[in-house]
């Protein structure tokens, strides 16, 4: 079987998983999608995994019980691991609100491949943006267990990187992530 390092050599990069965590509306997917584009422009091969390509597919049918939320993260982490082992720079954007969930993801992916980015946009700003109208629904009681409103978000204690989008625009955020990331993925 082809080894990971043969695959990485072919792509001219090292595989890693960037795990974006933060509240709904914090900007995780926006950053992941923009980062993917910037990585391609620099010759890297990357793949975003987020609600859009996971929830309706692989994780179809999973609900919001404790067990289902954990299974949701477990499958995402397993798929991320497959991509990472294939040599791909994998960009995961999921709320993943608890330390336990993220510890599970890290244990599946492997600590050396798991780079946690805390998108630390505060709740009031996420709620003001409310791009998908979810905060309003949650305030109206239509979304029980919605993170930040009626379920806790546990901030990472020692994230690999923190991106406070209330103080940095997308361009600045991407620059900061790239500066931190490139030493990890280049030079095979």
For 114, phi then psi, to 5°, come to -105, 110
Binding-site member from 81, 127, 149, 153 for a second copy (CB under 8 A)? 81
Which of 7, 87, 6, 80 minimizes the C-alpha distance to 48?
80
Q: What Rg value do the Cα atoms of the chain yield, rounded?
A: 16
* Burial class of 119 by CB neighbour count within 10 A (0 to 12, 13 to 18, 19+): buried
**114: its two tokens:** 């798991």
Min separation Cβ 50 and a second copy, Å = 9
C-beta closer to a second copy: residue 14 or 81: 81
> Is 96 in the active site?
yes
Min separation Cβ 144 and a second copy, Å = 27
Q: Which stretch binds a second copy (CB under 8 A): 1-9, 16-24, 125-133, 175-183?
A: 1-9
Told to check if 2 binds a second copy by CB under 8 A, we report yes
Q: Which of residues 7-66 bind a second copy (CB under 8 A)?
A: 7, 10-11, 33, 36-37, 40, 45, 47-49, 53, 57-58
| Residue 118, C-beta contacts closer than 8 angstroms, at least 6 positions apart | 21, 22, 155, 156, 159, 161, 162, 163
Binding-site member from 55, 75, 137, 139 for a second copy (CB under 8 A)? 75
Told to check if 131 binds a second copy by CB under 8 A, we report no
Which of 79, 89, 154 minimizes the C-alpha distance to 109?
79
C-beta closer to a second copy: residue 85 or 106: 85
For 98, phi then psi, to 5°, come to -110, 155
Told to check if 88 binds a second copy by CB under 8 A, we report yes
C-beta closer to a second copy: residue 167 or 186: 186
Q: Among the options 24, 80, 96, 120, which is catalytic?
A: 96
Catalytic site positions: 96
């Amino acid at each position: 079987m082809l080894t990971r390092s043969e695959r990485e050599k072919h792509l001219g990069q090292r595989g890693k998983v960037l795990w974006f965590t933060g509240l709904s509306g914090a900007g995780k997917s926006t950053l992941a999608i923009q980062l993917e584009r910037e990585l391609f422009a620099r010759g890297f091969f990357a793949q975003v995994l987020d609600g859009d390509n996971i929830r309706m597919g692989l994780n179809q049918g999973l609900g919001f019980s404790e067990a289902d939320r954990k299974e949701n993260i477990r499958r995402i982490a397993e798929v991320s691991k497959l991509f990472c082992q294939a040599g791909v720079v994998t960009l995961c954007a999921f709320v993943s609100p608890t330390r336990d969930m993220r510890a599970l993801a890290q244990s599946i992916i492997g600590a050396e491949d798991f780079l946690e980015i805390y998108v630390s946009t505060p709740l009031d700003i996420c709620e003001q943006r409310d791009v998908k109208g979810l905060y309003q629904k949650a305030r109206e009681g239509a979304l029980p267990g919605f993170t930040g409103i009626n379920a806790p978000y546990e901030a990472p204690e020692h994230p690999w990187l923190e991106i406070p989008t209330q103080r940095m625009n997308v361009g600045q955020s991407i620059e900061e992530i790239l500066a931190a990331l490139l030493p990890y993925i280049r030079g095979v």
